[in-house]
């Protein structure tokens, strides 16, 4: 929250909520930064820090080449937005819940899995890449995680045995993040049935709301919920379709695809508003990821990037689609879909996911509250606004 002069302060009270760590403040109220001791994240490949790699995939260069210098399970050349958020909070990068090697859960865990959805899909990995760990499964994993780590924490006889386990008292002080929904929209687009998609959106949103309710019942108090980005602006969407000019908006994005995202986002925001009333001790921030990403796409060149439709890693020419890091034989010609020379100049890493440079640009703007409702700094997200 921006610092204001004393005479600009309208609301002058601060109430510590019973049963939680959330404070109720006015939008112009001074407030202390939150002391987030941990982050628990739920999502898809936009925030997966290695869960899908641990469970379903083999490491594949050139992913991770720019920062980690090896594949680490992130769908980018380097860090994701969640990594920049962790850095901003002074916390280590989140260990994937499914990764059993070299992990520490002292400061949280990442339950996100690339390719997953909010609502379970009757699809498969081999058919279209949808993984069987939807949001309800991720929340169940969290429930088990909390119980089991609590047990081992209490049973530990030495401090060293607890060093990689979360402190039970930190769960109410943690930040609970959601970045999921893009694959639900992609599933709707694949089925090419507008009516079915429109009918499904309320249920998709309600299932996300149930996940928040579950975490609240387990003493979660601060929630940071991203809406979904402009899926119609993903370069691979444009490359894959025979597009007529009137199907594109001013930024060269597929209008029909973005309309799906906008509908989901409208209903998600409405549900978040209701959740604030239903969960009186929770601070819930709705983050307009769509607007942040669309701003970058529309101003890519002004921000030092190449055109937003350019893809760094992959081969997408003449109706030939070879995804990042893959080898394909096309007309007896071997094609390796490698990366570009300078990923930091690209908004899109692989046609679907953003480059580290783009992730940093977006993260900086959501951290400062520019796209948040209420408009709070990330470090102030534990404070409930009395005006919301």
pLDDT digits (tens, 9 = 90+) for 96-111: 999 989 899 999 999 9
The model's pLDDT over 293-337, given as tens digits with 9 standing for 90+, comes to 999 999 999 999 999 999 999 998 877 889 999 999 888 889 899
Task: Count CB atoms within 10 A of the CB of residue 199.
Answer: 10
Q: Please tell me the predicted confidence (pLDDT) of residue 4.
A: 40
Q: What is the DSSP string of 260-295?
A: HHHHHHHHHHHHHHHHHHH-TT-EEEEE-HHHHHHH
DSSP state of 95: P
Residues of the chain with pLDDT under 50: 1-28, 30
Task: Count CB atoms within 10 A of the CB of residue 134.
Answer: 21
Choose among 25, 1, 23: nearest CA to 11.
25
Q: Please tell me the predicted confidence (pLDDT) of residue 266.
A: 98
Q: Please tell me the predicted confidence (pLDDT) of residue 3.
A: 40
Choose among 294, 167, 310: nearest CA to 232.
294
Report the distance separating Cα 82 and Cα 348, nearest Å. Answer: 17
Report the distance separating Cα 310 and Cα 318, nearest Å. Answer: 15
**Is the pTM value of this prediction over 0.75?**
yes
- Residue 287 CB contacts under 8 Å (≥ 6 apart), including other chains: 224, 225, 226, 227, 366, 371, 372, 373
Torsional class of 341: left (φ above 0), alpha (ψ -120 to 50), beta (otherwise): alpha
Q: Please tell me the predicted confidence (pLDDT) of residue 388.
A: 52
Calculated CA dihedral for residues 52, 55, 61, 67, nearest 10 degrees: 60
Tokens representing 68? 């980690």
Choose among 83, 75, 66, 74: nearest CA to 344.
66
CA 228 to chain centre: 9
For CA atoms 237, 239, 349, 371, give the dihedral sign.
negative
- Catalytic site residues? 45, 350, 353
Q: Please tell me the predicted confidence (pLDDT) of residue 126.
A: 67
């Amino acid at each position: 929250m921006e610092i204001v002069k004393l005479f600009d302060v309208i609301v002058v009270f601060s109430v510590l909520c019973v049963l939680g760590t959330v404070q109720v403040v006015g939008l112009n109220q001074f407030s202390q930064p939150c002391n987030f001791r941990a982050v628990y994240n739920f999502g898809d490949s936009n925030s997966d820090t290695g869960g899908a790699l641990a469970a379903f995939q083999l490491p594949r260069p050139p992913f991770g080449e720019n920062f980690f210098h090896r594949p680490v399970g992130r769908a980018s050349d380097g860090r994701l937005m969640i990594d920049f958020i962790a850095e901003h909070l002074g916390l280590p990068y989140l260990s994937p819940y499914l990764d059993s090697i070299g992990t520490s859960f002292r400061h949280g865990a990442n339950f996100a899995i690339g390719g997953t959805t909010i609502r379970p899909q009757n699809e498969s990995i081999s058919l279209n890449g949808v993984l069987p760990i939807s949001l309800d499964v991720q929340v169940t994993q969290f429930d088990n995680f909390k119980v089991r780590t609590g047990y081992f924490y209490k049973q530990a006889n030495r401090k060293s045995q607890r060093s990689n386990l979360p402190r039970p008292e930190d769960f109410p002080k943690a930040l609970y993040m959601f970045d999921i929904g893009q694959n639900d929209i992609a599933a709707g687009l694949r089925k090419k049935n507008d009516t079915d998609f429109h009918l499904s959106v309320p249920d998709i949103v309600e299932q996300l709301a149930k996940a928040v309710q579950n975490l609240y019942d387990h003493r979660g108090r601060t929630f940071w919920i991203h809406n979904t980005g402009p899926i119609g602006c993903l370069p691979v969407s444009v490359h894959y379709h025979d597009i007529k000019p009137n199907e594109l908006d001013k930024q060269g994005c597929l209008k029909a695809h973005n309309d799906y995202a906008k509908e989901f986002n409208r209903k998600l925001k409405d549900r978040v508003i209701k959740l604030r009333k239903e969960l009186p001790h929770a601070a819930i921030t709705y983050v307009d990821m769509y607007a942040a990403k669309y701003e970058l796409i529309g101003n890519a060149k002004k921000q030092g990037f190449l055109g937003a439709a350019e893809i760094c890693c992959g081969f997408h020419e003449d109706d030939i689609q070879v995804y990042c890091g893959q080898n394909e034989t096309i007309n007896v010609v071997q094609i390796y879909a490698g990366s570009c020379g300078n990923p930091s100049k690209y908004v899109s890493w692989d046609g679907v996911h953003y480059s580290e440079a783009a992730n940093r640009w977006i993260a900086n703007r959501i951290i400062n509250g520019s796209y948040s409702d209420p408009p709070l700094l990330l470090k102030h997200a534990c404070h409930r606004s009395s005006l919301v």
